[in-house]
Amino acid sequence: MHHEAPLVPFLGLYFNLANMLMITVASAIVFIIAVLSTRKLAMKPTGIQNFMEWIMDFVKGIINSTMDWKDGGRFHVLGITLLMYVFVSNMLGLPFSVVYDNYLWWKSPTADPVITLTLAVLVVGLSHYYGVKLKGTAEYGKEFFKPFWFMFPIKIIEEFANTLTLGLRLYGNIYAGEILLGLLAASLATDAVGHIAAALPMLVWQGFSVFVGAIQAFIFTMLTMVYLSHKVSHDH
Amino acid sequence: MNFVLGAATGLNTGDILFQLFMFLVLLALLKKFAWGPLMGIMKEREEHIAGEIGAAEKSRAEAQKLLEEQRDMLKQARTEAQGLIENAKKQGDVQRDEIIALARTESDRIKESAKLEIEQQKEQAVAAIREQVASLSVLIASKVIEKEISAADQEKLINEYIQEAGNAR
């Protein structure tokens, strides 16, 4: 059941070509959807523009539920992009996977811990950056000693724990979903009876995976805003 | 293709860079081509709606003011009309009385003059009759006398006639 990853070394770094392909595909899909839906903008929105505006309002709601819009407005673009990118990435591995020459080429890019942890580190890194930028270094540093000075080690651990859980939660959910889909497809559907037997659980699990993928995209965006608000807001 | 087997390599450091790069590029592109314009139009709409609400409120207040004004004017016009009617009525009454009084005096005057004229006419008629009677009686008397009466009888007769005419009046 385990497929190899198409790795190539380049300049001392290892590149997983399958990940690069899927990252590019996911980015391209998000970009195309976004541009198509905002190509004909009107004061009186119709069709897909309504959908995009709904997404914007949705992300605005997420941000507003965690922090003041005065602070959080700058993260609006980041939030929408994260939500759509993670959602599209989660969906990519659902309809099929492509295995060529025992290498797994087509999958969800978020089914790789390296990718999800990269996004998580980006988010946490951004939270520190904006913490320093908006509150100043002194106040940013003081946050680590609140409410008591001996909480400092715990606060440091919290940062790493946040990063790890943020990335691994997404990875685990999507990877597990793909593994089960792969098992159903490869192990069960080997003959005619197996095909028929696998059809229903496949259908159910794919439907559930769509749900999980959407929920995980929402959770990822939500937690991003929570971490950002912890660093940015003054009342914490 | 000669790929290195994944299990032996550990961390795909290249993927990290690639993912970071792609995400930041995607972020920048979307901000420029999609979210920016969309946010712009949403903001524009927000402002448009706010402006429209403001304008609607203003025009409503204006309409209220105009309505109030119209109502006042209507009330004023009504009282004015009432006054005019009242005035006209009063004037009509006065005029009627005047006309009636005038007519009464005129009719009195006409009656008076008619009476006067009648009296005059009667006077004239009586005078004329008296004259005629006198001349007739003289004529008759002269005719009779010519036949059989003396001058003394004639005198007596004339006087009797005159007496009678005077009594008859």
* Tokens, residue A24: 């590019």
- The domain in which residue B118 lies consists of 36-168
Specify the higher pLDDT residue, A113 or B102: B102
**Nearest-CA residue of chain B relative to A85?**
B23
Residue A198: predicted pLDDT? 74
| pLDDT tens per residue, range A160-190 | 999 999 989 999 988 888 888 877 777 665 6
Residue A202, pLDDT > 90, answer: no
Higher pLDDT, A142 or B146: A142
Select from A16, A41, A85 the Cβ nearest to the Cβ of B26: A85
- Closest in A14, A23, A34 to B19, CB measured: A23
- Kindly state the average pLDDT of the residues A104-125: 86
- Domain presence at residue B69: yes
* pLDDT surpasses 60 at A223: yes
Q: Which residues, 6 or more positions from A97, have their beta carbon under 8 angstroms from its beta carbon?
A: A104, A106, A107, A178, A181, A182, A185
What is the phi/psi pair of residue B50, to 5°? Answer: -60, -45
B25 part of a folded domain: no
- Per the structure block, which two tokens stand in for A48? 């897909």
For residue A115, the chain B residues in CB contact (below 8 A) are 15, 19
**B78 in a domain, yes or no?**
yes
Is some CB atom of chain B closer than 8 A to the CB atom of A103? yes
Over 70: is that where the pLDDT of A113 sits?
A: yes
Q: Which residue of B has its CA nearest to A35?
A: B34
Dump pLDDT digits (tens) for A22-75: 888 888 888 888 888 888 777 777 788 888 888 888 988 988 888 888 887 888
Identify the CA nearest to B10 among candidates A98, A235, A173, A9: A9
Chain B residues closer than 8 Å to A49 by CB: 38
Judged by CB atoms closer than 8 Å, whether chains meet at B19 and A115 is answered as: yes
Q: Name chain A contacts of B41, Cβ cutoff 8 Å.
A: 41-43
pLDDT value for B114 = 95
**Distance between A136 CA and the closest CA of chain B, angstroms:** 25
- Structural domain tally of chain B? 1
- Which conformational region is residue A136 in: left (phi greater than 0), alpha (psi within -120 to 50 degrees), or beta? left
Q: What is the pLDDT of residue B104?
A: 95
CB contact under 8 A, B20 and A34: no
For residue B47, tell me if it sits in a domain. yes
Give the pLDDT mean for A102-123: 84
The pLDDT assigned to B95 comes to 94
Closest to B29 measured CA to CA, from A110, A28, A21: A28
ipTM above 0.85, yes or no: no
Name the residue type at position B83: G
Residue B151 lies in a domain: yes
- Tell me the mean pLDDT per 10 residues along chain B, length 169: 48 80 86 83 88 94 96 96 95 94 95 95 92 87 71 79 77
pLDDT recorded at residue A205: 84
A positions 113-142 inside 8 Å of B (CB)? 114-115, 118-119, 122
How many angstroms separate the CA of residue A49 from the nearest CA in chain B?
8
pLDDT at B7: 42
pLDDT in tens, B83-127: 999 999 999 999 999 999 999 999 999 999 999 999 999 999 999
A43 vs B29: CB contact, 8 Å cut-off? no
- Please, what is the average pLDDT of chain A? 83
Whether residue A122 and residue B34 make contact (CB cut-off 8 A), yes or no, is: no
Q: Residue A2: which pLDDT band, with cuts at 50, 70 and 90? A: low
Answer for the pair A97, A112: CB distance below 8 angstroms, yes or no: no
Higher pLDDT, A57 or A17: A57
Contacts with A76 from chain B: Cβ below 8 Å: 35, 39
Within-domain flag for B27: no
Assigned domain for B4 exists: no
Q: Which pLDDT does position B5 carry in this prediction?
A: 46
Flag whether pLDDT at A139 surpasses 50: yes
Could you tell me if residue B113 is inside a domain? yes
**pLDDT at res. B76:** 96
Element housing A33 (H / E): helix A17-37
**Structural contact between residues A112 and A19, judged by C-beta atoms closer than 8 angstroms:** yes
- Using CA coordinates, name the residue in chain B closest to A13: B14
